[in-house]
Each structure stands twice: as C-alpha cells, then as structure tokens.
Amino acid sequence: MAEAVRVRDATAADAPAIAAIWNPIIRDTVITFWLHARSPEEIARLMTERQAAGWAFLVAEGAELLGFASYFQFRGGPGYVHCMELTIYVAPGMQGRGIGGQLMRALEARARAAGVRVMLGATTATNAASIAFHRRHGYAEMGRIPDAGWKFGAFHELVLMGKRFGNDTSAGAG
C-alpha cells in the first residue's frame, strides 16, 4: 500500500529537511543555478518572507518530508504581481510517485485563489524530466534564454515553462 502523503504549509521546523533535499541538488547538479548550499536558517527566512508576502511555501510529508514547493513573484515591481515563478523539489528516490503532482496542484490552487494569472517554471534546458513534468501539468514553453546560468564552468540555457490561469485581474492589485 502506498504511503499517505499530506501537503501542508511549511514551517521553520521543516527547514533542515528542506535543506537535506535542496542542498545536494544545489551542490551536484545544474537543475538550479544556486552555487552555494542554503542553511536551514536561510531557508526558514526565505519561507517566512514568501509566506508573509502571501505566496505559498508548502511541504509534502508522509512518514518524513518528501518534497517542497513554493511560488514567488517572477520579477519585482507592481506590474508583475499576477505573474509567479514556481519551485518544486522532491526527495531523492521519491520521484515518479505523484508527490510533485500533488505539490503542483496545491501551488496552483493557492495561486488561483490569490489572483495569479501566469505561473512560470524556469528549468535548465538539459533537465528533460522537469520539462516533461511541466508539460504533463499543462505548461507550455514560453521562452528560452541562452547562457542564462553559469555553473560548473559552463553556461546553461534556461527554459521558461508557463501556464495561464485566466483569472480576471481587471480590478488590478498592488
């Protein structure tokens, strides 16, 4: 029988487990262009900042923390308040079990409720699994940025995968 997975708001107590998932990805891959590991304290601050801004920072848990997800404003300034960028990471060995999909659906539900119009996933062009994951969830390629990231002595292309929610934003925000 599959392990029950619950998606909930992240708390500062989750930061060490999030670091345990995120830091090997930072350290060993070009999936992210971060160059240095993130401390649990830094993650807790990031989580607090995003949640205070009204953006989601979620975790998926079973017997242990299985993954995390967040969204945040794509670019600064009031003109971008309806365009968000998402991040989803699942613990090693837990991919392909639907955890990322649960996190995606929860993020999208929060974003829609908050009036988000466009959600973007920025992924390294060589990360075929991430591109396929986004496509399975209704995201389409919206752009490519050659040489956007520098890591491990090389430039890497960034692919922007996007989904329009079509929320009515005629009243404006911010």
Torsion of CA 164, 9, 50, 88, to 10 degrees: -50
- Strand pairing category for 154-164 and 118-124: antiparallel
Q: Residue 93 phi/psi, 5° resolution? A: 80, -5
Instruction: Kindly state whether residue 126 falls inside one of the protein's structural domains.
Output: no
Instruction: Kindly state whether residue 13 falls inside one of the protein's structural domains.
Output: yes
Contact 84, 74 (CB under 8 A): yes
Instruction: Kindly state whether residue 133 falls inside one of the protein's structural domains.
Output: no
Instruction: Kindly state whether residue 102 falls inside one of the protein's structural domains.
Output: yes
Contact 126, 30 (CB under 8 A): yes
In terms of Cα–Cα distance, which of 136, 130, 140, 129 is closest to 163? Answer: 140
Instruction: Kindly state whether residue 114 falls inside one of the protein's structural domains.
Output: yes
Q: Give me the number of domains the chain comprises.
A: 1
Instruction: Kindly state whether residue 157 falls inside one of the protein's structural domains.
Output: no
Kindly give the confidence (pLDDT) of every residue in the chain, 174 residues in length, as a single tens digit, with 9 standing for 90 and above.
Answer: 356 899 999 999 999 999 999 999 999 999 999 999 999 999 999 999 999 999 999 999 999 999 999 999 999 999 999 999 999 999 998 888 999 999 999 999 999 999 999 999 999 999 999 999 999 999 999 999 999 999 999 999 999 999 999 755 444 444
Instruction: Kindly state whether residue 78 falls inside one of the protein's structural domains.
Output: yes
**Residue 106: domain span:** 6-119
Q: List the CATH number of the domain containing 87.
A: 3.40.630.30
Instruction: Kindly state whether residue 124 falls inside one of the protein's structural domains.
Output: no
- Strand pairing category for 140-151 and 6-9: unpaired
